[in-house]
Amino acid sequence: MSTVKFYDREFTSRLLIGTARYPSPKIMQEAIRAAKSQIVTVSVRRESAGGKAGSAFWSLIRELDVTVLPNTAGCRSVREAVTTAKLARELFGTPWIKLEVIADDETLQPDVVGLVEAAAILVKDGFEVFPYTTEDLSVAQRLVDAGCRVVMPWASPIGSARGIVNRSALKLMRERLPDITLVVDAGLGAPSHAAQAMELGYDAVLLNTAVSQAADPVAMAGAFRLAVEAGRDGFAAGLMDARDFASPSTPVVGTPFWHAVS
């Protein structure tokens, strides 16, 4: 079984999953198990709220025996994101942080300038940063230059379920950053979208809304797991290139033929 490496840790699952907006805590747990995810994202703000609700949620996560990837969701400035990341390190005892710096309330598009700045600050402070960004190659390269060994470009805006809207850009990013762990994060709405991302050679995908808001989150989590596995296997097997013309699957040369005898 192939593995995917996030910084210095290896995992067999290539499907990361979020923990927000499930119909119930029980369904959340069952969905994560159905996905066979080994890494789950957790909102720092949710956990830091404290009280019985926060403690109960953390107990549910511990029962799953998964690796926690805290995120800075909702942060709209470099200062806010850095402060939230430091709080996450104290709360969860991990140098991992999914870094989000949001520029626009409607599209939730990343503030790419602030993202690069915050990533550089956090890397220098010993964090292992998972930056959520757009499909822009120049931004991804700046994040790598800042010390990020994982980059997480979106397929399309968070929660849009539109799938990959700029396939060429994601393909180019994969080609130009062969040694970086790349995760498609946000915008995947169907298992086929996840398979397409994996067929491009991406190392993993991260989901939340497509599973948590499905009519049957548990069944959908299982469907995404299978799609991720199929997409990765297809990429590893070597996909044929698309063509602009037809090509017969059965060769004509050398095959027998008959003709009528008068």
Assess contact for 191 and 223: CB atoms under 8 A. Answer: yes
Catalytic residues: 98
Report CA-CA distances (Å) from 52 to 29, 48, 49, 72, 194. Answer: 18, 11, 9, 22, 36
- How far apart are alpha carbons 30 and 26 in whole angstroms? 6
C-alpha 175/C-alpha 180 separation (Å) is: 10
Distance, in Å, from the CA atom of 180 to the CA atom of 6, rounded to the nearest integer, reads 9
Cα→Cα distances 44→36, 57, 86, Å? 23, 12, 10
At 76, list the tokens.
């709209």
**What is the pairing mode between strands 9-11 and 4-6?**
antiparallel
Residue owning tokens 């299982």: 222
Residue 6 to residues 12, 126, 145, 250: CA-CA distances in angstroms?
11, 15, 17, 44
